[in-house]
Structure 1
Amino acid sequence: MPDILALSTRDYALALMTSLPDAGAERKPLLARTVSLPVADLPALIELLPFAAAGELFSWVRRGEGMVGWGRAAEHVATGAQRFASLRSWWESVAGGAIVRNEVGVPGTGPVAFGSIAYAASSAAAATLVVPQVVVGRRGDRAWLTTMTTGDELPSVIPPASGSTPTAPEGVTFADGASSPTQWAGAVAHAVELITQGHLDKVVLARDLEVRSERPIDVRWLLARLAERYDNTWVFSVDGLVGATPEMLARSEKGLVTSRVLAGTIRRTGDDEHDLALAASLARSSKDLEEHEYAVRSVADALRPHCSSMNVPETPFVLHLPNVMHLATDVTGVLADGASSLALAEALHPSAAVCGTPRAIADQVIADLEGMDRRRYAGPVGWIDASGDGEWGIALRTGEVDPGDPSRMRLFAGCGIVAGSDPEAEVAESDAKLVPMRDALTQ
């Protein structure tokens, strides 16, 4: 850890506080300080995370860049249909009233919050925004440290203690969640019937697995394994939700909006020549192209009211991941109305890639056939800074640590169902999508 991480911030914090008018019993403003770090001395971001409970560790890392954080300086929890609006209002108030010294000035510096949002308004899970006490970030040849508090002084930055090497899970077992594979295949068959009868065009059905370990699950172990094996995904940890998503719901940076749409999947074999042939077949598959078209259209339609111009490619490309390949399209636009990244995520959620089309009917079919609460699976997960810039992925290839019993998790995976879907093939696809988290827990 570079020496700069141990620098004293007490004088800075106290000077800021003494310059404030007496607020009495009102909430104290957020204090945030960002300083530059020497990139050459910085370990891999995930290696910086100290030993802590799953809910106290934060990550948003792809190919060695992004941010990690720990501790809680402030947080907001919201539920129900207005959960997005509640988070937006709270963050605008906190960020707008923050006292900031930012010596770096790139997106993700200054005040920043990590968030994850329940898929459904009716979910027992909440939507949360958490401001960590400490954030370390890296982008290209820039690296930084941000410390944040709502107290009288900024937190001390203590390097991870020696001996806090991440520990591997032990005695991990898996069990069916809400449905067995056979039961879930039956739900898929029912969905195909509804589609062929003309009730809807596409629906995404998910299944879950229950995980038990003989010791509490160390989130740092999972993050390190996922970052090593899936470096072209966004490896995240927010409030106990952990995963590696390949799908960017909404990125907003200095007026440019991007959304990466994935829909249409085929499992890899590990044989490069065979996988190239499979990729070609995926690119020609009428079933997968149909599924992908619905997803791209839903994203473009949701972004268009916020953008002055857009680019929607006519043909998808094939995204190669270690376990599967996806049809992918990057939709881009120029922001016209100043909407924040969180507002854009709200406009896009849920896209056809995780719900279906028409949206309202697909949502009802999901409620009728899945037989489980998705909680934060398939909901937005990511971060936002004080300017409103940020990145929000879709919580895929994910698991949720049980806050009451950290030796337990639930894993989730889903598949897009259209008229040409085969139930057994969809079970196999869902198994492939569970591989990242299963392997991270057992290898």
Structure 2
Amino acid sequence: MTGTERVIPSLTVETTETGDPGPLVPLLDRAHPLLWTRRGFGLVGLGEALRLEFSGPTRMTDAAAVWRRVAAAARITDPLDRTGTGLVALGSFAFSEHSSQTSLLIVPSVVIGRDHDRSWVTRIAVGEADLPTAPPADPVDGGYRVEFGPGSMSAEGYRDAVATAVTRLRGHELSKVVLARDLVGLLPDGADLRAVIAALDLAYPDCWTFAVDGFIGSSPETLVSVDDGTVSARVLAGSAARGTDARSDQDAATALATSSKDQDEHQYAVQSVLAALRRHSPNVMASEIPFTLRLPNLWHLASDVEGDLTDGSTSLDLLAALHPTAAVAGTPTEDALRLIEELEPFDRGRYAGPVGWVGADGDGEWAVAVRSAQVTAGRITAYAGAGIVAESVPERELLETRMKFRPIVEALS
């Protein structure tokens, strides 16, 4: 059904303040973990009061329209009235309009939330049904490892794809393209996915750690955040491996900051975000000079973007305007997408698509779903990509993807 044809149930939503729930990961459902967390803020979802699925080129605009109807029909009691309370949905969207992977918004039956000074529980039911209760925390199982091997694209195949892309770029067919590759592993029977999520959350506290419908990861890149009329984003493009000691680490950061290749790649990404947001926020601005962002496994060139929304857009509305950015597709966008479909022998699924949450008022936080993997029927597929420009060297780009695989691979080592 289209967005206008869907039958929208009336949800009863009740938020109450509670004591600190403690570590969030043990609260997750073993089979269907649903999580969004960073720097002490977190949302744990349990059960499904409502599941909305979308596909095709209008998947994000359809989601925005349907979510307005869901929020308008809901009966919400929310005395806290703060970020993450009341009606919320966690969601994940496919990268490509041609993907066989569905995009979705999930309204949990129970949401356990926490920020720096308060905690809460939101219970959600359909119609007049009784409001559910949250189950107790369940200790996380660990002690298993996964061996990853090549997926649909081998290391040699990736080098060949990069070389082909460089030829096209030097022929001025386009300015930049982002090419990804995949790794595949098998999970042991009964593996507790919460152990992987806990490892990611511990190792990457400054990233958005997420779990939505078997899609897990820790992303450093904010696609868009909307809060009370303010829009913000963090653009990452250009990266380098961390050094082995303090001196080499600083040298790596300096080399990245002064690299014309990485600076060019970064500016393509920043300008694509600014151009997409200016229709909604005419005063949107980016930091004048990109800064080096330190993560446990690498350095990134980063720029923060911020402005005031003037047209009442929600975070879901802005997904359609922003996705895909040059940081995960390339420039010009349509040319880059065609080359990705030609050179990547797999469906990216939700990798590099938007992942995050939205509230009843449309405010929310959405990351670019990098450093991620999809779990389906005991099989885990991890993805990593690199931005290719005319100066790119295939072996260097392959090494960059190896660095970007590290969060997922090490969480399962």
- What is the match of residue 421 of structure 1? 392
Cα distance in 2 between the residues matched to 1:171 and 1:218: 11
Cα distance in 2 between the residues matched to 1:144 and 1:272: 42
Compared CA separation, residues 368 and 221, structure 1 to 2 (3 A): same
- What is the match of residue 251 of structure 1? 225
The share of aligned pairs that are identical, in percent, is 43
Alignment of 1:4-403 (within 5 A): 28-39=9-20, 42-50=21-29, 52-53=30-31, 56-151=32-127, 152-160=129-137, 164-168=138-142, 170=144, 172-402=146-376
Q: Larger deviation: 214-223 or 413-422?
A: 214-223
Displacement after TM superposition at 1:215 (Å): 2.3
Cα distance in 1 between the residues matched to 2:148 and 2:286: 41
Please identify the structure whose Cα radius of gyration is greater: 1
After TM superposition, where is structure 1 displaced by more than 6 Å over at least 4 residues in a row? none
- The one-letter code of the counterpart of 1:420 is E
Cα distance in 2 between the residues matched to 1:80 and 1:362: 18
Query: SS at the partner of 1:309?
Result: coil
- The one-letter code of the counterpart of 2:215 is L
Displacement after TM superposition at 1:165 (Å): 2.1
Cα distance in 2 between the residues matched to 1:292 and 1:304: 19
Contact 1:210–1:411, Cα closer than 8 Å, also in 2: yes
Deviations 1:376-403 (A, max 9, x none): 000000000000000010110000010x
- What is the match of residue 11 of structure 1? none
Displacement after TM superposition at 1:64 (Å): 2.3
Cα distance in 2 between the residues matched to 1:28 and 1:72: 13
Contact 1:44–1:64, Cα closer than 8 Å, also in 2: no
Query: SS at the partner of 2:71?
Result: helix
Contact 2:243–2:252, Cα closer than 8 Å, also in 1: no
Q: Larger deviation: 271-280 or 318-327?
A: 271-280
Displacement after TM superposition at 1:173 (Å): 2.0
Cα distance in 1 between the residues matched to 2:294 and 2:8: 48
Contact 1:299–1:348, Cα closer than 8 Å, also in 2: yes
Cα distance in 1 between the residues matched to 2:187 and 2:361: 41
Query: Unpaired segments of 5 or more residues in structure 2?
Result: 1-6
Cα distance in 2 between the residues matched to 1:181 and 1:93: 46
Deviations 1:330-365 (A, max 9, x none): 011101001000111111000000000000000000
Contact 1:63–1:227, Cα closer than 8 Å, also in 2: no
Q: Larger deviation: 258-267 or 306-315?
A: 306-315
Compared CA separation, residues 28 and 171, structure 1 to 2 (3 A): closer
Compared CA separation, residues 72 and 143, structure 1 to 2 (3 A): same
Displacement after TM superposition at 1:216 (Å): 3.6
Displacement after TM superposition at 1:88 (Å): 1.5
- The one-letter code of the counterpart of 1:222 is V
Contact 1:169–1:213, Cα closer than 8 Å, also in 2: no
Deviations 1:240-294 (A, max 9, x none): 1100000000000001100100000001133122111110110000000000000
Contact 1:170–1:215, Cα closer than 8 Å, also in 2: no
- The one-letter code of the counterpart of 1:433 is K
Query: SS at the partner of 2:139?
Result: coil
- The one-letter code of the counterpart of 1:63 is R
Displacement after TM superposition at 1:137 (Å): 1.2
Q: Larger deviation: 87-96 or 244-253?
A: 87-96
Deviations 1:115-137 (A, max 9, x none): 00000010000110000111111
Deviations 1:208-249 (A, max 9, x none): 011112224322111110111000000001111100000000
Query: SS at the partner of 2:401?
Result: helix
Cα distance in 2 between the residues matched to 1:272 and 1:244: 25
Cα distance in 2 between the residues matched to 1:222 and 1:253: 30
Displacement after TM superposition at 1:171 (Å): 5.0
Query: Unpaired segments of 5 or more residues in structure 1?
Result: 1-25
- The one-letter code of the counterpart of 2:400 is E
- The one-letter code of the counterpart of 1:71 is G
Deviations 1:132-187 (A, max 9, x none): 11111112212111111115111122212xxx422226352212111110110110
- The one-letter code of the counterpart of 1:218 is D
Cα distance in 1 between the residues matched to 2:9 and 2:321: 32
Cα distance in 2 between the residues matched to 1:72 and 1:213: 25
- The one-letter code of the counterpart of 2:226 is S
What TM-score does the superposition give when structure 2 sets the normalisation length?
Answer: 0.96
- What is the match of residue 3 of structure 1? none
Are 2:382 and 1:411 equivalent residues in the alignment? Answer: yes
Deviations 1:286-343 (A, max 9, x none): 0000000000000000001001412222210000000011000001110100100011
What TM-score does the superposition give when structure 1 sets the normalisation length?
Answer: 0.90
Query: SS at the partner of 1:307?
Result: coil
- The one-letter code of the counterpart of 2:237 is A
Contact 1:169–1:214, Cα closer than 8 Å, also in 2: no
Q: Larger deviation: 190-199 or 209-218?
A: 209-218
